[in-house]
Amino acid sequence: MKMYINGEFTSGKAKERITVIDPATEETLGDAPRGTSEDARAAVAAASASFPDWRRAPANERTAALHQIAAKIRAHHDELVRLLTKEEGKPLPENDEELWWVEETFDYYAELARHERGRVIPPGEPGQFNFVLKEPYGVVGCIVPWNYPLLLLAWKMAPALAAGNTVVIKPSELTPLSTLRLVEVACDHLPPGVVNVVTGYGPETGEPLVTHPDVPVIAFTGSLAVGQRIASLAAPMMKKLHLELGGKDPMVIAPDATMDMAVSGLAYAALINAGQVCTSTERVYVHESMFGRFSEELADFVGKLRLGNGLDEGTDIGPMIRDKFREKVEGQMADAVGAGANILTGGRRPSEFGRGFFLEPAVVTGVDHTMRLMREETFGPVIPIMPYKDFDEAIALANDCQYGLGASLMTHDARLVKRFFEEVKAGTIWINDPLTDNFAGPFGGMKMSGLGRELGQEGLDEYYDVKHVHWDVEGGVKEYWYPY
């Protein structure tokens, strides 16, 4: 496939191609250009040229355009689901859900975009008129990860376009094909230059977007280290940054929690997409009165989950994206075991698969906060659990982390719920239903998990700059002017 710049598919200045493989089979799926800084600049030039007309387009026109994107994606839903599964590895049901979210996100922001453009505020004096305008910034650089390549693109692209911005998309070099195909089937009705896609590696195409003077906004989802790199590059230019970074989300199991619900809910929260989710539950705290039984039932439940190719019916957990990510997870588990932890189930490379980056989902006990497995982002199918004595300790453990993306609690005690959502420092709090999003509810992190919010009105406002207009309708000389 080719990059998409100024309404045309092109190889640009790329002299090399990036091979894209299926993580379940390691077979080649296709390739994409290894874009250059020149390609990034060409895409920015196209987006800049199209911005004046796009920002002036009536809100109803942009609304119709976004609804068309959603409709065209629906028309290719099954094709895109299968492509996502081949490219990224998630089982078909998970990618079916991802595409539904993509479609609905474009429809949601299509309608939200024509709801308001600012507000009128009371004047300071009679005869004056004060109002606030929300205006698009210009070109938005959307740098998207591999774990939810279309969902996390939609969460940036839809509100950015709805607000009147144009976009340059830089997909992960691991999963560019689904992004290019989505743009091919769903964006051909947009004016040239409104949407552009540049493929390649971060230093060669991503960083040129970050440092380009005509890209005032960078929207990025990915690791803390890369987010810090982006922030350091963008700071001298005072760019608007929207950074959704790492997570190490806790889950607390209260003594009154329903065992079946807590076990299955935790397994889902920790193992969906083989644990490769920024909001995966990666630390679990279980009340000591139920710790032994809970650990046994969780290990039994997880041990029965079906590992396999995401295209196969009945697969619960697919492969990890690449071997280096699997090795990182194995390294954290090995360090924990060396420090006294116990693996109750899983943690091995299954022998029945000749190829692919599979790793059995693991349940680990005997852990504590001195271990990397409980401190660093894992991004893999591992559930480390430890006991706590009382709810004060549970909250302290949940907060004992540099990240603050999400946190979950399993309980039916309203008093514990109130304490949890008031005292735990995280951008999203889930009670009895982990990892559930809401189109109208803002998503994002606190502490080292990032800046800004996606979804909801807050997600749209991220792509608006704000202007206050003070208009003295009457005019005339003011008594507080010179001379005093």
127/145 Cα distance (integer angstroms): 52
Write the CA distances from 227 to 77, 81, 230, integer angstroms. 31, 29, 5
Give CA–CA dist 109/459, Å, rounded.
Answer: 9
Cβ-contact 419, 392 below 8 angstroms: no
Instruction: Give the type of residue at 152.
Output: L
* Burial of 473 per CB tally in 10 Å (0-12, 13-18, 19+): exposed
Quote the tokens at residue 37. 């800084």
Answer yes or no: are the C-beta atoms of 379 and 328 closer than 8 Å.
Answer: yes
Distance (Å, rounded) from C-alpha 191 to C-alpha 53?
9
List per-residue pLDDT tens for the chain, 484 residues long.
999 999 999 999 999 999 999 999 999 999 999 999 999 999 999 999 999 999 999 999 999 999 999 999 999 999 999 999 999 999 999 999 999 999 999 999 999 989 889 999 999 999 999 999 999 999 999 999 999 999 999 999 999 999 999 999 999 999 999 999 999 999 999 999 999 999 999 999 999 999 999 999 999 999 999 999 999 999 999 999 999 999 999 999 999 999 999 999 999 999 999 999 999 999 999 999 999 999 999 999 999 999 999 999 999 999 999 999 999 999 999 999 999 999 999 999 999 998 999 999 999 999 999 999 999 999 999 999 999 999 999 999 999 999 999 999 999 999 999 999 999 999 999 999 999 999 999 999 999 999 999 999 999 999 999 999 999 999 999 999 999 9
Whether 244 is catalytic? yes
276: tokens are: 């490769």
Assign domain 3-245+449-469 to its CATH architecture: 3-Layer(aba) Sandwich (3.40)
142 is catalytic: no
pLDDT at 415: 98
**Residue 177 DSSP label:** H
The CATH classification number of 249-431 equals 3.40.309.10
Q: How far apart are the C-alpha atoms of 350 and 319, rounded to whole Å?
A: 11
| pLDDT score of 116 | 85
Alpha-carbon gap, residue 228 to 438, rounded angstroms: 28
Active-site option among 94, 278, 377, 462 = 278
User: How much of the chain is helix, strand and coil, in % rounded to 5?
Assistant: 40, 20, 40
Tell me the residue ranges of DSSP E strands in 294-361: 342-345
DSSP 206: I
Q: Where are the domains of the chain?
A: 3-245+449-469, 249-431
Q: Exactly one of 103, 207, 244, 377 is catalytic; which is it? A: 244
pTM of full prediction above 0.95: yes
User: What is the residue whose two structure tokens read 């839903």?
Assistant: 77
